[in-house]
A and B are shown apart, each in its own frame.
Chain A
Amino acid sequence: MKTRATETLVGALLALLVLGVVPAAAGHRANNEVLIGGAISQTGQYAEPAGRQVYSIKLWVDEVNGRGGLLGHRINLTLLDDKSDTQTAIKLYEKLITEDKVDLLLAPYSSGITEAVANVNERYKMPFVAYGAASTPIWEKGRKYIFNIVAVAEDYQKGAVHLAKQIGVKRAAVIGQDSLFPRQSGKGAKDWAKKLGIEIVVDENYPVKQTDFTALLQKISGAGAEAIFSNSYFADSAAQLRQMRELNLNFKLFSSTVGPGLPNFPEQLGPTAEYVLGFSQWEPLPKILKHPGMQDYIDRYEKRFHEKPNYHAGGAYGALQVTEAALKKAGSFDPEKLREALATIEVQTIFGHYKVDAKGMNTHEGITFQILKGQRRVVWPEKWAETKPELPVPAWSKR
């Protein structure tokens, strides 16, 4: 019995081996094809936002192939999964570059992974436009082959801090998850607050998986903060909001960087999500943002994936439009020419304007929204504001 089981096991192992080799062998490309590849988190902690980027990538590839391909080449797409793990991501990019010999690289998701991968593509001189990394330090190391399209992390709280100033907030708290991106956006919040004369009375990071914020919220209220700038993802910002309500703690303003921008945030939280401020790189609002081609993109995305695109999706699509335009300008897939084009080109995408500075950074302007009646409504900057912000937030007891 025991040896039979072990033999079955060895057999299963071999079967797995064979299964793994088959698609690798099938991936060989024909002459008129270009191979485009990237590793994006399809499992693990980043899978949710990264998944929306994968949607956009697939949409773009099918569309380009539909109109005759890139520079006359059909796209053959290889998307690998880095399991939200840095070491895996490094290895996969080495594989894509040196083994699969892709013609064009796609960016990974998250600041941490991009920081690591940037060393690899820099070494092999393969440029890409990062759509999933907003932390400035990545572009402060003199790298030449990485470009950015999204607004930097330091600006995620810019709108919220300005709105706080407008309603006369004097003391505020900056809290956030202890990892690269939230800490950068927290740093930005503190800098903006300093500029605008708002005193930061609590400044704390919490562990990635923290769920109970009772004590932290008490600390914040005890310190006399009137507003909270929370640099958080879904689970933590949801927990903070719910617990503020449970504890009947009223702040004039609560702003969270990533969580409220995720499509299912208002739906999963119900009325508790009302009045929260969030940051968005982009919103599917063609009438307000007026970027060319937006409506068309939104329609096609919604038809295929049955939800409206969020900013992760929009950013990825914009970066791909930039890449496509740069390839046309370069006239070939030569990485040096492409790099040159990406560094100099000026493009209007569905995501916004692209033109990078010497470091490779785009000056994208983000928007601040407020969740009102379950909808994200743009409230800042004023030129794009759909509606006046409802601030200070009404007390829990008056809702």
Chain B
Amino acid sequence: MNQRADDVPGREALSRPFAPRADATAVRPSPHSWRERSETRSLYLLAAFLICAYALPFVVGAGAGTIRLDERWLANLATVVVGGVMQGGVYAMFAVGLTLIFGVMRIINAAHGEMVMMGAYLTWVSFFYLGVDPLLALVLTLPVAFLFGVAVQKVLLNAAVGAPELTGLLITFGLGLTMIYTAELIFTTDFRTIPYAPGTIQLTSTIAVGQNRVISFVMAVVISVGVYLFLKLSRLGKAVRATALNAEVAMVCGINVQRIYLITTGLAAALAVAGGALVSIQFGFNPETGVQYTLQAFAIIILGGRGDYVGALLGGLMLAVLENLVSLMVPSGTAMVELAAYGLMIFVLLIRPGGLMGVKEG
């Protein structure tokens, strides 16, 4: 059976750049205009849903009296939104790597968080043992990560391309476990963190943001935009996008698809490791902290539109800001931030499996 053709409901056919056989399997003969209407409708629905999602913490907060429209509270709100944007940049870093692999090969990389964790440890080792600045260390770690990704693709993931989704999921999940426990063997489960740029930047007299947050955000933007330009402008990048759109056609056009797969996973691993470097200068981590990053990245790529690069960036920002709003305004809201991620993910899947950027890609 052809998994690649069967992965989204028929009415979303337009938003399926990876489904070469899409029309053949559609049961109802759907006139083009009907699909377009349905596309637009689902986009409106999604927009309406997102507005509700963002309004909800305000409504709940107003009901519970946690919102006070004085200057101090507004400063709190502004800080939280700024913080969310900073955090969102890092989320986006996680998500773009995941979305690349998913877009090109339709594989869900369940080991993505462990690759992030690997990045955090590589950075930590270079900082504490070699005395290298965490950002400078990227020069060292990114090539290593790229090669790691290439090896993973060559040995493991090539077998999962075109196979039922369970194959890829299990392979990468197993890989993730192996990475976690290998790291435990080497580094123990003690938590690590890098005390880097711990100071503050005062935006106004009441709104502040952490130096390392800003540095992370800038790095995330620079790297993501760099990769975006690579995909958009370079010959190789165009080949990657072509493969994502339709591997068979790409092959016919003379693109070495196997090589593109290797480059994609290498790139994704490098992006994850770069994300890990940013984690290491902000948060504590140990071998087991990777899992949560995988889950967050799942939510983001669903929100943004599977395989869509810009969607992943947008999704990262939106999720982080929403999480912060919930935490600030809802009573006992911090316990519920995870619900924001999973709720968004499930509702977006139901309303519009193609996500925010579904149409644009198609």
Question: Does a CB–CB distance below 8 Å link A and B in the complex?
Answer: yes
Report how many residues on chain A are interfacial, defined by Cβ distance under 8 Å: 44
Complex: A239 Cα to B72 Cα, angstroms: 24
Contact check, B323 vs A212: say whether CB atoms are below 8 A apart: yes
Chain B residues with CB under 8 Å of A396's CB are 200
Could you say which of A47, A242, A249, A269 contacts B189, with CB atoms under 8 Å apart?
A: A47
Q: Is A88 an interface residue when CB atoms closer than 8 A count as contact?
A: no
User: How many B residues have CB within 8 A of the partner chain?
Assistant: 52
Q: C-beta contact mask, A44-65 vs B, less than 8 Å → 1, else 0?
A: 1101100100000000000000
Given A214-B84, A271-B195: A242 touches B210 (CB 8 Å cut-off): yes
- Least Cβ–Cβ distance between A53 and chain B, in angstroms: 14
The answer to the question of B208 belonging to the interface, with a C-beta cut-off of 8 Å to chain A, is yes
For residue B83, CB closer than 8 A to chain A, the reply is: yes
User: How many Å from the CB of B214 to the closest CB on chain A?
Assistant: 9
Among candidates B77, B79, B327, residue contacting A247 with C-beta atoms closer than 8 Å: B79
Whether A222 sits at the interface, judged by CB under 8 Å, is yes
Contacts known (A214-B83, A246-B211, A269-B195); A206 close to B335, Cβ less than 8 A: yes
Q: Are A269 and B193 in contact (CB under 8 A)?
A: yes
- Interface assignment of A191: CB less than 8 Å from any CB of chain B: no
- Which residues of chain B come closer than 8 Å to A214, judged between CB atoms? 79-80, 83-84, 87, 324
The answer, yes or no, to whether A148 is at the interface (CB within 8 Å) is no
Q: Contact mask B318-362 → A, CB, 8 Å, 1/0?
A: 001001111110001111011000000000000000000000000
Cβ of B320: which chain A residues have Cβ within 8 Å of it? 212
* Interchain nearest-CB distance for A82 vs B (Å): 14
Decide yes or no whether A141 CB sits under 8 A from chain B: no
**Contacts A43-B181, A214-B83, A238-B284 given; does A245 touch B200 at CB 8 Å:** yes
Tell me whether A272 and B198 are in contact in the complex, defined as CB-CB below 8 angstroms, given that A219-B327, A243-B210 are known contacts.
yes
Chain B, residue nearest A50 (CB):
B189
Distance in angstroms between the alpha carbons of A238 and B279 in the assembled complex: 13
> Once the chains bind, are A51 and B332 in contact (CB under 8 Å)?
no
State whether the Cβ of A384 lies closer than 8 Å to any Cβ in chain B: no
Tell yes or no: A142 within 8 A of B by CB. Answer: no
Within 8 A of A (CB), among B181-224: 181, 184, 188-193, 195, 198-200, 202, 208-213
Interface positions, chain B 16-49, Cβ under 8 Å from A, are none
Inter-chain CA distance A245–B210, complex, in Å, is 7
Do residues B334 and A245 form an inter-chain contact, with CB atoms below 8 A?
no
- Cβ-defined contact, A218 with B79, below 8 A: yes
Note all chain B residues with C-beta closer than 8 A to A248. Answer: 200, 202, 208
Q: Smallest CB-CB separation from A215: which chain B residue?
A: B327
Contact A48 B195 (CB under 8 A): no
A186 to chain B, nearest CB (A): 13
Binding stretch for chain A, among B101-109, B130-138, B286-294: B286-294
Q: Which of B72-126 contact A (CB under 8 A)?
A: 72-73, 76-77, 79-80, 83-84, 87
Q: Chain B residues with Cβ under 8 A from A246's Cβ?
A: 198-200, 208-213
A167 contacts the other chain (CB 8 A): no
Q: Which of A43, A222, A249 sits near B72, CB closer than 8 Å?
A: A222
Instruction: Scan B259-296; emit 1 where CB is below 8 A from any A CB, else 0.
Output: 00000000000000000000000111110110110000
Q: Which residues of A contact B84 (CB under 8 A)?
A: 214-215
- Name which residue of chain A comes closest to B212, CB basis: A246
B213 CB contacts on chain A under 8 angstroms: 246
A245: chain B residues within 8 A (beta carbon): 198-200, 210
Pick from A43, A175, A212, A235: contact of B83, CB below 8 A.
A212
CB closest residue in chain A, given B197: A246
Q: How far is the CB of A97 from chain B (nearest CB, A)?
A: 28
Sample 20 A-B pairs with CB under 8 A, ordered by A number.
Answer: A43-B184, A178-B335, A205-B334, A206-B334, A206-B337, A209-B289, A211-B283, A211-B284, A212-B83, A212-B87, A215-B80, A215-B327, A216-B327, A234-B191, A242-B282, A245-B200, A246-B200, A248-B202, A268-B284, A269-B193
- Given A218-B328, A269-B195, 13 more pairs with CB closer than 8 A: A45-B189, A51-B189, A178-B335, A209-B291, A212-B83, A215-B333, A216-B327, A219-B328, A238-B284, A268-B191, A268-B193, A270-B198, A271-B195
